[in-house]
Structure formats: C-alpha cells, structure tokens
Chain A
Amino acid sequence: MPNITQSTLKLTRDEAVHLLHQMWLVRFFDEKVDEFFARGLIHGTTHLCVGQEATAVGACAVLRPMDKITSTHRGHGHCIAKGADPKRMMAELFGRETGYCKGKGGSMHIADLEKGNLGANGIVGGGIPLATGAALTSKMKQLGYVVLCFFGDGAANEGSFHEGLNLASIWKLPVVFFCENNQYGMSGSVKEMFNIENIADRAKAYGIPGAVIDGNDIVQVMDTVETAVQRARDGHGPTLIEAKTYRWKGHSKSDARKYRTREEEQAWRARDPIARFRALLLEEGLLDVGTMDEIEREAAREIEDAVAYAESSPMPALESILDDVYA
C-alpha cells in the first residue's frame, strides 16, 4: 500500500469544514463526558477518545452512508463520525429513554443502526467477527456496502482477531480492519504485548495488504482508508490498516496512568490531530483562522445542546425492563 502523505490533500472547502467540525464534536463530547464523570453525574464507566479524533473522523469520512462500521468500547468518536446525533448519545450516557439504546446500553453499547453503526462493544475484539459477518451479508446479497471494523491494539491479541481476519480474507469479504493503535490496552503497552514492531505486519499472515499510518494525520487516514475501501468494494477482500495514535486520557474513569510517563503524554499531545489539521488547512489556504474558530465554537454549542437535551429527557419506565429481550 502506498504511503500517502499530506501533500495529496484534495479536500474541498466544504469537506474541510465538515471534518474540522466533526473532530471538534468528538473532542468536546468526550471532554464533556469526562467532566460529568468527574462530577459524579454519570454512572458506570466510559472510555474517552480524546487525541484520537483523526482516526474516527478520517476513516468514516471516506465511507458512503450505506457503508457500515463496527466500533469498540472507546466508540463515541466512531459514532459521531458515522453521523450519529450527539443529543441521543448524551441521552444514552445519562441513561435516558431518548438515548440510542433507551438507556439500557450506556457508553459501551451505543449503536446507531440507521447510520450503519453496528455498535460499540464491551468485549475487546468482539466487533471483529461481527464486521466479517456484516461484510458477508453485503457479499451474499450483493448490497455493495463495505464494513469498516475499528478495534484497538489490545484487541489484536484476542483470538477473535485471528479468526475474524482469516475468515474475511479466505472469503474475500468487503471489510477494512482498522486498528487504532493507541500504544496501550488498559495498561499493557504494545512494546510489552507484541513481539513485532507493527501490528499491520500480521496482514502477511492472511495474505492481505497491510498499511501502517500516522493516525494523528487525518489526511493520511482518509487516503489509506479510501484505497482499502475501494479494494473491498471491488471484490478484492480485506485490508489491515494500523493507525498509530494515542489516547490523552486514562483508559477509563479510574486510571492513575502509572504505566506511562507524563513526558510521553506531553510528546503525544504535541501531535494533536486537530491542531495539525488546522495548521494544514491554514497552510493550504482552505480556511482562515476566524472561520476555524467559529467551527470550534459551533461544535461546543452543539455539545451544550446535547447536554441540555439529555438532562431534560425522561428516564425509562421501570416496566420497560422486560422489553426487547427477544424480537
């Protein structure tokens, strides 16, 4: 797979606005959730993707509306990027009836089937075989859609990774396996948990293309995923993409981050995917600072609206507890 760099930027102004807006939505959504957890306003747990906005937004940006994704426990970004309404996402985190899962799923299970999001997943690696199966439907019914499967570095060490990728590759299914390598599972670093440099090197084992990219560079993410999606749509089967990135926050709400240094965190914060994209847009003359600031403010307002919507939404009725166990 060619290593595409930022020089191939071919965005229109509208696309640039859309992407930047989405990246800010993702960031503000998760920062808001972080704040609510700290204040004890949301229960359960959550996994934030602050710092990983370029992978979620970039990968979903090159999909068609009919394409599908499978997501992970760290899935708010994927969900927003695939077109979900932050209002209904926030309502779900507040456990409200208006949430995507009627308050029954919470952060780890948000699914937006209408927009092609087959769900976050509380089981690490759980989405990989599901993506394979969704791609099988596309192939058997000749529906033409591609499935983009998000998973983490940690998930690549589950048996479901090996079994899912092998199956997808022998059946040449239209699926793109997109590993967000944020350097850690909960605490286990990739250095400790892998005996290879790049997870995408495993692509060889399945006879499929592999690509290692800078996951904090949204243009590179888009270009690479676009090529892989095209390949899948053309019937040539899966690709394994590994995007190197970093989660800025702890793994979940309770994490003292003892397994990594503050210096390392600072170094990655300096590679902020949003700041980099802004700089690029400015350099290319696509958007000016004033416009970009306004995009940021607009996203912040939308998240405030989402909070207001969530807070004013009703709780599910106790009687609803028995609903939806069976179809």
Chain B
Amino acid sequence: MAVMREITYQEAIREAMSQMMRESDDVFVMGEDIGVYGGAFGVTRGMIEEFGSERIRNTPISESAIAGCAVGAALTGMRPILELQFSDFITIATDQIVNQAAKLRYMFGGKAKVPMVVRTPGGSGTGAAAQHSQSLEAWMAHIPGLKVVQPSTAYDAKGLLKAAVDDDNPVIFYEHKLLYRTKCHVPESLYSIPLGQADVKREGKDVTVVATSIMVHKALEAARLLEQDGIDVEVVDPRTLVPLDEETLVQSVKKTGRLVVVYEAVKRGGFGAEIVSVIAESEAFDYLDAPIVRLGGLPVPIPYNPELEKHAVPQVPDIVEAVKRTLAYS
C-alpha cells in the first residue's frame, strides 16, 4: 500500500493555489513580497518561477490599493487571491473589504459578484508583538457579505482554499503562522471542502470543546491529557465561521451536555461569544449540565516578552482546567 503523503500547511496552500492556477487563467495571486522572496512565510515560494510575474503579482506596500484592486478585478471577471502579509494589516485594507467587497452585490441588487479570497496569517506566538500578532477574525465575521474561514490543518487548508476560490463571494481566509509547518496527510489531487461544514476532530462523550485555528491543536493535546484521567473529550473545529455549521455544534453539545469554547482572539467580543450564543439559543441549551466555559485571549495587545506572550492566550493547561471545571459542576 502506498504511504499516505504528508505535506505542511504551507505546502498545502501553495499546492491548492498552483493547481487552481493551472486550471483557470482567471485565478492569480497578488501581494507584498510574494515573488522571488516567496512571501513573508514562504507560502508562494517557487510560484513566480512557474507562473511568472503577470500572475504572481508582487505589489507595492499599499494594502488599501491592492485590496481594492482585487475587488475591482473580481467584479470584472477575475478570481484574485490576495496575500495580505499579516492579518493585522487588514486595518488598512478594511475599507475596500468592508465597504466595497462585502456590499457591492447587495447594494447593486444582486447584479454583481466579487469572487476574491484574502489569504492572511493571524495569531501570536512568534514574538512579533502587538502589531503583528492579532486575531481579528471576529471583525470580518461581523460583516454581512463576507465569508470567513480558519483552517487548522494542512488537509483542511487545501480543501477550504479550493472552495473559497470557487465561491462567488469575498472570502477572508485566516491562516495561522504557527501552523505553517504542521503536517498531515493531504491528497495530491485537488479537492474541495464545502464552506460551512464543521469537523469533529476527535469524538468523545463527556465534554464538547469547540476550538478554532491553532486552538484545535491545543484542544486535542488537552484531550489526550484528559484521557489519562478517563475524561472523554470531543473536539469540534467549525473550520468556517461564516457560514457557521450550527447543526454539528448543537448535536455535539446535545450529546455531551457540556461545552468549552476556545479561541485565541481577545475573549471580549470574540467569535467564541457567537458560538456560545448559538448554543444558548438552540435546543442544546436544555441539554447543558454545566455553565458554558469560554476561553479567549486576555484583553491586552500581544506583548513581546515570550512568557507574557504565551500568557496572553489560552494554553493547554487552561483547557484541561476548563474541562475539569465543567465536569466538576453538578
């Protein structure tokens, strides 16, 4: 039997882009330093050699212009993928994304479509401090007209990116810097994972942990530790925040009766609050045996010092403790 091929998250994204670019001339990539440099995180390495500078477009440092340029190109028949070097810089691109990309179709009475993808790395853990470490996905999830994706594995990244590029709407595709080098099995051929399908990363019966992006891995690690204490944790990864697969979340909580939600973004106003609301407003509410626990980042800009930086966002022991807390409640 052939060995299952494993590639990194970064390679999976590159492979998806390359395969889609081979299939369609409408797909192209724009971004800062994505040419011979290969992108700040090496995601586009080698692509300019294959596709040339017409389709791997190295841009000036002009986030507003390149975001708007993607919107304009998408509006007129292209399918641009914009690599926004750090997701923090979405602040500069936000006008074009929020006031233009998200709303054009609706404002024009359904006459237009804006099929573009903004790929952008978020998250802390690299010591890049407050302006290069944020998790601002809740901002984008708040905007009608945008779809928001947060893949946690190489497999999901490839399939979700395919779905995002095929989608006729603007999609914000949040990658995580610390996931770029993580590996898993990824099929060579192109495949699509529908937007709006959560994935149960680990089945369990005692507690549901809903986690996003890098927190999926921390939740899985916590689950392995808790298993030693005989606690059976179910880990659910929504994978896309918009659209959100409410059904899978509700079913899981109905099964376990306990819920912990973990995300890296600042807890206050973070997307985890939305997940909690979905459960609180659903039939699963009746099945809850303990108050919901929500773990998120502290309400601080990400600090530089490595110990403080770790302290700013949930870690494995925090998840272990939270799960035990919900189980202790009776």
Question: Which residues from chain A sit less than 8 Å from chain B, CB to CB?
Answer: 43-45, 92, 95-96, 101, 103-106, 108-109, 121-126, 154-155, 157-159, 185-188, 192-193, 255, 258-259, 315-316, 318, 320-322, 325
**Distance between B288 CB and nearest chain A CB, rounded to angstroms:** 31
Nearest residue (CB) in B for A189 is B58
Chain A contacts for B132, CB-based, 8 A: 108, 122
Cβ of B196 < 8 Å from any Cβ of A? no
- Please report B residues at the A interface, Cβ cutoff 8 Å: 32-33, 35-37, 40, 58-65, 88-89, 92, 126-132, 298-301, 303-308, 311-312
Interchain CB contact (< 8 A) of A103 among B35, B40, B63, B304: B304
Beyond the given pairs A106-B127, A108-B131, A121-B131, 13 more chain A to chain B contacts, judged by CB atoms under 8 angstroms and listed by A's residue number, are A44-B128, A45-B127, A95-B307, A103-B303, A103-B308, A109-B130, A123-B89, A123-B92, A185-B32, A186-B32, A186-B37, A187-B58, A321-B312
Which residues in A have their C-beta under 8 angstroms from that of B63? Answer: 158
Q: Is the interface of B mostly helix, strand, loop or mixed?
A: loop
Pair A106/B304 contact, Cβ less than 8 Å: yes
Residues of B within 8 A of A255 (CB): 37
B300: chain A residues within 8 A (beta carbon): 321-322, 325
Q: With a CB–CB cut-off of 8 A, which chain A residues contact B301?
A: 104, 325
A44 near B37: Cβ-Cβ < 8 Å: no
Instruction: State whether A154 and B305 are in contact (beta carbons under 8 Å apart), knowing that A43-B127, A106-B127, A259-B36 are contacts in the complex.
Output: no
CB–CB A106/B58 < 8 A: no
Contact between A322 and B305 (Cβ–Cβ < 8 Å)?
Answer: no
Q: For A193, what are the chain B residues with a Cβ–Cβ distance below 8 Å?
A: 60-61
Contact of A154 among B61, B306, B307, B312 (CB under 8 A): B61
Given A159-B64, A188-B60, verify A320-B128 contact (CB < 8 Å): no
* B311 / chain A contacts, CB cutoff of 8 Å: 318, 321
- From B35, B61, B65, B131, contact of A125 by CB (8 A): B61
Which residues of chain A are near B298, meaning CB under 8 Å? Answer: 321-322
Distance between Cα atoms of A325 and B299 in the complex (Å): 8
Q: Is the CB of A154 within 8 A of B36?
A: no
Q: Given contacts A157-B61, A159-B65, A193-B60, is CB(A44)–CB(B129) below 8 Å?
A: yes
CA distance A32 to B298 in the complex (A): 34
Least CB distance from B123 to A in Å reads: 14
Chain A residue at smallest Cβ distance from B301? A325
Alpha-carbon gap, A326 to B312, bound state (A): 16
The answer for the CA separation of A101 and B130 in the assembled complex, in Å, is 12
The 5 A-B residue pairs with the shortest CB-CB distance in the complex, in nearest-first order: A44-B127, A106-B304, A122-B131, A95-B305, A187-B37
Q: Are B36 and A188 in contact (CB under 8 A)?
A: no
Taken together as a complex, chains A and B put the C-alpha atoms of A290 and B312 apart, in Å, by 52
Is the beta-carbon distance between B58 and A157 smaller than 8 angstroms?
no
**What CA separation (Å) do A288 and B220 show in the bound complex?**
67
Query: Whole-angstrom distance from the CB of B58 to the nearest CB of chain A?
Result: 6
Contacts of A155 in B (CB 8 A): 61
Give the docked Cα–Cα distance between A159 and B92 (Å).
Answer: 9
User: Across the interface, do B37 and A318 meet the contact criterion of CB distance under 8 Å?
Assistant: no
Contact of B305 among A108, A159, A185, A316 (CB under 8 A): A316
Shortest distance in angstroms between B176's beta carbon and chain A's nearest beta carbon? 17
Q: List 8 A-B contacts (CB under 8 A).
A: A92-B304, A103-B303, A104-B304, A109-B304, A159-B92, A258-B37, A259-B36, A318-B311
A103 engages B32 (CB within 8 Å) = no
CB of A185 within 8 A of CB of B33, answer yes
Q: Nearest A residue to B62 by beta-carbon distance?
A: A157
Q: Contacts A124-B61, A258-B37: A104 and B299 contacting too (C-beta < 8 A)?
A: no
Partner of B61, one of A44, A105, A188, A320: A188
Asked whether, in the complex, the Cβ of A103 is within 8 Å of the Cβ of B61, the reply is no
Residues of B within 8 A of A186 (CB): 32-33, 37, 40
Chain A residues whose C-beta falls within 8 Å of the C-beta of B40 in the assembled complex: 186
B128 touches A158 (CB 8 A): no
Q: How far is the CA of A93 from the CA of B301 in the complex (A)?
A: 18
Q: A106-B129, A320-B308, A322-B298 are in contact. Are A258 and B60 (CB under 8 A)?
A: no
From B40, which residue of chain A is reached at the shortest CB distance? A186
| Nearest-neighbor residue (CB-CB) of A42 within chain B | B127
What is the bound-complex CA distance between A241 and B58, given in angstroms? 26
8 Å CB contact of A185 from B61, B299, B306: B61
Q: Return chain A residues, CB-CB under 8 Å to B304.
A: 44, 92, 95, 101, 103-106, 109
Bound-state CA distance A96–B59 (Å) is 37
Q: Roughly how many angstroms separate A316 CA and B312 CA in the complex, as a whole number?
A: 14
- CB–CB A188/B58 < 8 A: yes
Q: How far is the CA of A122 from the CA of B59 in the complex (A)?
A: 19
Q: How far is the CA of A318 from the CA of B298 in the complex (A)?
A: 12
- A217 CB to nearest B CB, Å: 27
Chain A positions within 8 Å of B88 at CB level: 122-123
Closest CB of chain A to B52's CB: distance in Å? Answer: 14
Cα separation A322 to B311 with both chains bound (whole Å): 11
Chain B residues, CB < 8 A from A126 = 131
Known: A103-B305, A109-B304. A45 touches B33 (CB 8 A): no
In the complex formed, the residue of B with least CB distance to A320 is: B308
Decide yes or no: A157 and B33 within 8 Å by CB, A44-B126, A95-B306, A103-B304 being known contacts. no
> By the criterion CB–CB under 8 Å, are B126 and A122 in contact?
no
**Are A105 and B129 within 8 A (Cβ)?**
yes
Q: Smallest CB-CB separation from B302: which chain A residue?
A: A104
User: CB distance A45 to B126 under 8 Å?
Assistant: yes
What is the CA–CA distance of A95 and B303 in the complex, to the nearest angstrom? 9
Q: How far is the CB of B86 from chain A (nearest CB, A)?
A: 9
CB distance from B72 to the nearest CB of A (A): 16
Q: Which of A101, A185, A258, A316 contacts B36 (CB 8 A)?
A: A258
A-side contacts of B32, CB under 8 Å: 185-186, 188
Q: Which residues of B contact A318 (CB under 8 A)?
A: 307-308, 311
CB distance from B184 to the nearest CB of A (A): 24
